[in-house]
């Protein structure tokens, strides 16, 4: 069973000319809930990558037509920032260093521990997801447009604290944001006064959103808050 549950099934491209290893990876990864595409060499992998960009690539080095190093170099030269894990029988220090220099996110030597591989994949995908969330600055909240750069929610000009709090909630839309995390991020403390201030600003935001009946800021007792859009029929 997947140790972490994302909203969608992540797609993994496995490039390895050893069919037995590739099929073993496919069986294990699909059992864990991933969608897997296999490629038998670097050229085949590039074609499948272009046809349907995956969320992460598992890449062997020793492959015909185009080896893993050349494929990785081509991906990075084209500005592709998606994560790549090299899985190879080549375990020399020079090969490992070369892999990282070319831009791999991790380098695993064969034989592969499937459990460790799954943890590494999930850790990398989680970091990518958080990085992408942190780039978001504009959100549609019902009939109101939230612009965190201009600090506006529709026609309402937000205070800096209101703006920062709403941004934290929106970046984790439909997900619980722990109270302590908010306090440490915005107030650098979780003392009584900061906690009371947080409650006040949550109420301010609820008042600002009262004309958007589907947008709710929920309090999860003893844990934190989440902003949801009830029109999306998301389970709470």
Task: Please write the tens of the pLDDT for every residue from 193-236.
Answer: 999 999 999 999 999 999 898 999 999 998 999 999 988 754 44
226 within 8 A of 219, measured Cβ to Cβ = no
Backbone Cα Rg of the chain: 22
pTM, to two decimals: 0.63
The DSSP H or E segment spanning 226 is strand 224-229
Average pLDDT of the chain? 90
Instruction: Supply 28's token pair.
Output: 């294990």
58 within 8 A of 13, measured Cβ to Cβ = yes
> Which residue do the tokens 């850790």 mark?
123
In the sheet with 144-147, reading across from the earlier edge strand, the strands are: 138-141, 144-147, 152-153, 156-157
> Does the pLDDT of residue 5 top 50, yes or no?
no
Task: Please write the tens of the pLDDT for every residue from 53-79.
Answer: 999 999 999 999 999 999 999 998 887
48: β partners: none
Q: pLDDT tier at 98 (50, 70, 90 boundaries)?
A: very high
Q: Domains of the chain by range and CATH? A: 11-133 (3.40.50.2300), 138-232 (1.10.10.10)
Q: pLDDT tier at 80 (50, 70, 90 boundaries)?
A: confident
Cα–Cα distance between 95 and 234 in angstroms, integer?
Answer: 46
State CA 37 to chain mean position distance. Answer: 20
Instruction: Supply 71's token pair.
Output: 């494929």
Q: How is residue 231 annotated by DSSP?
A: G
* Preceding omega of 111 cis (within 30 degrees of 0): yes
């Amino acid at each position: 069973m997947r140790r972490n549950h994302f909203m969608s099934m992540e797609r993994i491209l496995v490039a390895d000319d050893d069919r037995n290893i590739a099929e073993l990876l496919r069986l294990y990864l699909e059992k864990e809930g991933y969608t897997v595409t296999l490629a038998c060499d670097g050229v085949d992998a590039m074609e499948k990558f272009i046809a349907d960009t995956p969320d992460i690539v598992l890449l062997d080095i020793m492959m015909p037509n185009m080896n893993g190093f050349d494929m990785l170099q081509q991906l990075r030269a084209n500005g592709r920032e998606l994560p790549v894990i090299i899985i190879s029988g080549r375990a020399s220090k020079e090969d490992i260093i070369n892999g990282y220099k070319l831009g791999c996110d991790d380098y695993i030597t064969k034989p592969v521990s499937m459990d460790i591989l799954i943890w590494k994949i999930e850790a990398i995908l989680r970091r990518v997801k958080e990085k992408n969330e942190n780039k978001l600055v504009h959100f549609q909240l019902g009939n109101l447009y939230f612009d965190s750069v201009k600090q506006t929610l529709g026609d309402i000009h937000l205070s800096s604290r209101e703006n920062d709090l709403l941004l934290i909630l929106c970046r984790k839309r439909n997900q619980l944001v722990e109270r302590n995390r908010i306090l440490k991020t915005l107030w650098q403390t979780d003392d009584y006064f900061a906690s009371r201030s947080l409650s006040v600003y949550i109420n301010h935001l609820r008042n600002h959103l009262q004309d958007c009946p589907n947008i709710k800021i929920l309090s999860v007792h003893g844990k934190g808050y989440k902003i949801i859009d009830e029109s999306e029929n998301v389970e709470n």
